[in-house]
Amino acid sequence: MLAKAPFRPCCGGGGGGGGDGRWAGRPRPVGVAGGFRRGGARLVAAAAAGERRTAPEAVSPPAAAVAGGKQRVNGSAVAGIDRLVTSTVGKSTNILWHDCPIGQPERQKLLNQKGCVVWITGLSGSGKSTLACTLSHELYSRGHLTYVLDGDNLRHGLNRDLSFKAEDRAENIRRVGEVAKLFADAGVICIASLISPYRSDRNACRNLVHNSSFIEVFLNVPLEVCEARDPKGLYKLARSGKIKGFTGIDDPYEPPFDCEIVIQCKVGDCAAPKSMADQVVSYLEANGFLQD
């Protein structure tokens, strides 16, 4: 399946405001905040020096409340900043969004590509890392900047505190989704390759990034093929009960219902990594990601 989606620039918020297309192709004026994702509320906080705005998801009603026509400061007693609106996001209180004049459009112009997230999902041993690296190489040889976020690798650092129980996998995916969003906002073609077994976690990442800039690639490889490959011997350990909660054995994998690209592999009939990567490159080309 190779679906063509209408291109819309990606990634508001996150790493610096992103774009809703208003400034596409032209420099964004200094002090003008980037576009916010759909459904995002806007709250202007004009600081004495420079303009600041709260991020869409950063608005929490108590902090952003307007009292008697005046925007209430979130506990600040500092003179001169009484018109700032601070926010509470999760456990972060008294925070403010700060935009920069150089935004995603400018970075994309520099790189002559559109930032996006290619999210590769599939069973262990399905070939996610191989596809991610082959795709990265293909795009590199065409002059495009990519960055691979590999689940296994990230668990050596950023996500080393997480296990494989469902809530830790969810946190793993959430963090990688946030990082991927920053890379896309930087104008980079971010290739995330994780099992990401739960549909809801993957969809949450899709919703973080602008929908058309999230390209979900399902490596649909039968369990028996993955198990026969077993490059790390993990399936063997899982079958013998030495690893508990292994995806596909005694832990679930939920295939996507409707994703951008499905790469199908059958027993005895699996395309070479290069031809899989070409399938993704064709999608990126057809949807305008490989040019500014």
By C-alpha distance, which of 63, 53, 51, 67 is closest to 90? 63
What tokens were used for 142? Answer: 């065409």
Catalytic residue of the set 87, 136, 193, 196: 196
How far apart are alpha carbons 213 and 289 in whole angstroms? 9
Residues near ligand ADP (CB under 6 A): 122, 124-130, 229, 231, 270-273, 276
**CB-facing half-sphere around the CA of 20: CA atoms within 13 A:** 11
One residue of 64, 135, 145, 234 binding ligand PPS per CB under 6 A: 234
Place of tokens 């041993």: 125
Give me the least distance between CB of 138 and ligand PPS, in Å please.
Answer: 20
282: how many CB neighbours lie within 10 A of its CB? 12
130 binds, among ligand PPS, ligand ADP, none (CB under 5 to 8 A by kind): ligand ADP
Which residue is listed with tokens 């031809």? 275
Which residue's CB is nearer to ligand ADP, number 130 or number 287?
A: 130
Residue 155 touches which member of ligand PPS, ligand ADP, none, C-beta under 5-8 Å by kind:
ligand PPS
Nearer to ligand PPS, 58 or 123 (CB): 123
Position of minimal CB gap to ligand ADP:
127
Helix (H, G, I), strand (E, B) or coil at 190: strand
What is the C-alpha to C-alpha distance for residues 47 and 37, in angstroms, rounded to an integer? Answer: 23
Residue 196 a catalytic site member:
yes
Which lies closer to ligand ADP via its Cβ, residue 204 or residue 271? 271
- Between CA 27 and CA 242 the distance in angstroms is 57
For ligand ADP, give the closer residue by CB, 108 or 129. 129
> What string marks each residue from 147 to 186 as x (binds ligand PPS by CB under 6 A) or -?
----xx--x--------x----x--xx-------------
Q: How many CA atoms lie within 13 A of 181 on its CB side?
A: 25
Q: From the CB of 195, what's the least distance to ligand PPS, in Å? A: 4
> Does 7 engage in binding with ligand PPS (CB under 6 A)?
no
- Minimum distance from CB of 217 to ligand ADP (Å)? 12
Which has the closest alpha carbon to 290: 76, 7, 1, 2? 7
DSSP 32: P
For residues 104 and 130, which CB has a smaller minimum distance to ligand ADP in the complex?
A: 130
CA distance linking residue 106 with residue 7, whole number of Å? 17
Interface ranges with ligand PPS (CB under 6 A) = 124-125, 128-129, 151-152, 155, 164, 169, 172-173, 194-197, 232, 234, 243, 245-247, 251
User: Hey, which residues are catalytic here?
Assistant: 196
